[in-house]
Structure 1
């Protein structure tokens, strides 16, 4: 399964990356010009600030956006989330680890296996219902899945991965 998942991610990256205006795809390494909303560290090949990859919101918006409508256990009714595919972001950074530690502003963190990543799920959502998310409404980044799309996305394990106010990802062995 891991080999098939990685093959699908490689294919998606080959198709989507040329479409992005992000200089990450062109080999350049922009540095954030605004407030950093995400820092990725650990087993990655591409960095821009020391041994980390740091992103402001505009840098994340430069990647191809993924949007979906879904209900959540934390909100009322159907919500529309827009953001960047976590798998695409990690593939762009040359991630080589098998485990991720995702952490929030309040230091909540969870570890999970990269085998759980799919091309379009989860996403690092930066918009909720076409509005930029702020700290008071679970932003600026919320790791979300299209929960209504698959029964396997509606489990306690997946819900625990749905970190809001996410600001750090560490790629582990």
Structure 2
């Protein structure tokens, strides 16, 4: 990613007040999706020796969004996921590294190579079939690979790297 795009992504988080970009979700959707309230941290990105960067849902929405429809082992039919590319989230946080450790709400941890974010259009999904994902549906955030784009991705190796109920990314 070139320097100007990285700088744009990093500064996009600060261009508009969070309250002005709050999603227009119904009260029921907001209550069903912990962390969806404006200003509440839903994702923390931490790299050794650097201050942690917290994202609320509005900050993630301000990043360029990507959508794809894919089959997964977790849903009976193909579903659509929408969210920023993982590489854009890392660039916005201003971090680089070799390994990413995804940490879920229940403290489940999985490591994935940072190179995956460059090689594949991995997203930090915030929408499932156009709707916010409540915790009971693997939300509010879910690292998802575009499984249907290659046979290589349709394997336990990549399925296991797809962390749902994501709350933190630690970068080494």
Shorter-chain TM-score category? 0.7 to 0.9
- Given that 2:9 and 2:91 are in contact with CA atoms closer than 8 Å, whether structure 1 keeps it comes out as no
More helix by share: 2
* Mapped partners of 2:6, 2:64: distance in 1: 7
CA contact (8 A) 2:66 2:123 kept: yes
The 5 A counterparts of 1:138-157 are: 138-157=138-157
Q: Which runs of 5+ in 2 are unaligned?
A: 19-36
Query: Deviation of residue 44 (structure 1)?
Result: 7.7
Q: In the superposition, relative to structure 1, how do residues 96 and 118 fare at CA in structure 2: closer, same or farther (>3 Å)?
A: closer
SS at match of 1:38: strand
> Matched residue of 1:148: which SS?
helix
SS at match of 2:126: strand
Match of 1:23 in 2: 13
Aligned twin of 2:162: 162
With normalisation by structure 1, the TM-score equals 0.78
Identify the residue that residue 59 of structure 1 maps to in structure 2: 59
Give the TM-score, by structure 2 length: 0.79
Query: 2:116 matched to which residue of 1?
Result: 116
- What is the aligned residue count? 154
1:40 aligned to 2:21?
Answer: no
Structure 2 CA distance for aligned equivalents of residues 75 and 107 of structure 1: 23
